[in-house]
Amino acid sequence: MSWMKRGACIAGLVALVLAGGAGAAGGQISLLEAKVELGDRASLQRGAKLFVNYCAGCHSAQFVRYSRMGRDLGLSEEQVRANLMFASDKPGDPILATLGAEDANAWFGVPPPDLSLTSRARGPDWIYTYLMTFYRDEDRPFGANNLVFPDVAMPHALVDLQGVQARKENAGDDGHAAPTGAGDLLELVEPGSMSVAEYRRAVRDLVNFMVYIGEPAKLDRYVIGGWVLLFLLVFFVIARLLYKEYWKDVH
């Protein structure tokens, strides 16, 4: 390959990567910043409570067991039992959705995904923006739409806390106006039980918790990775010894 062709290839690859990055960032809308603080235990505890009360009805977090979550968040077993677990759960259980997969499919047309790894796949800022930008849309089955997840099948689970948002008149309906901060496109038309500042904090806590639950799974993968490397090392030694053994009489 000539150097010019190679140069063109590299330029093409760079363009692809850049385009992919822009797409992942949420298209036309710039994401809000979650500014989560993984070391903030009080925030993680509040986030866990919100998650269990408002999300675990539909979503599982199957890599997280209550017992481990209690330990990591600095809660006693009684506190976890009283605040975070459903009556039928045991401390060693993972967080499973109360809604069955079949019902979920019938109601939403798609099963609510497990949220264990969502913070890693989507990033904290995306989830934060997602939970901030539900808005009223009578054309949708649950009367709500979302700026970063157009035509989402999920109802606005936190509408009682946030209140109802609507698109601003001049914001344009196609969503293809000049790149705009997600917060600029919506306005609160019916207040919820929380003030705007309280709701922001609640969502930040929730996202913080989701970042945390992405971590134990990451640690599990590290452990498995360690075993794989150890296996390869042992296997290499055996292979080496065999090799020597086989070849020592030849020559």
Residue 14 in 3-state DSSP?
A: helix
Paired tokens of 90: 């045991």
Pick the binder of ligand HEC from 63, 66, 130, 199 (CB under 6 A).
130
Choices 125-133, 165-173, 184-192, 215-223 (CB under 6 A): range interacting with ligand HEC: 125-133
Nearest distance in Å: CB 20, ligand HEC:
17
Is residue 100 part of the contact set for ligand HEC (CB under 6 A)? no
C-alpha 118/C-alpha 226 separation (Å) is 24
Nearest distance in Å: CB 138, ligand HEC:
18
Nearest distance in Å: CB 59, ligand HEC:
5
Q: How far is CA 153 from CA 39, 74, 116, 120, 145, in A?
A: 33, 35, 19, 21, 8
Q: Which of residues 25-84 bind ligand HEC (CB under 6 A)?
A: 54-55, 57-59
Q: Which residues contact 96 (CB under 8 A, 6 or more apart)?
A: 56, 60, 62
- x/- map, 133-172, ligand HEC, by CB under 6 A: -------------------xxxx-xx--------------
Paired tokens of 71: 């330990």
Which of these, 235, 215, 202, lies nearest to 34 by C-alpha position?
202
C-alpha 49/C-alpha 54 separation (Å) is 8
Nearest distance in Å: CB 175, ligand HEC:
16
Q: Which residue is nearest to ligand HEC (CB)?
A: 55
Q: Which residues contact 152 (CB under 8 A, 6 or more apart)?
A: 144, 145, 146
Binding-site size for ligand HEC (CB under 6 A) equals 23
Q: 19 — phi, psi (to 5°)? A: -65, -45
Residues that bind ligand HEC (CB under 6 A): 54-55, 57-59, 108, 110, 112-113, 115, 118, 121-122, 127, 130-131, 152-155, 157-158, 206
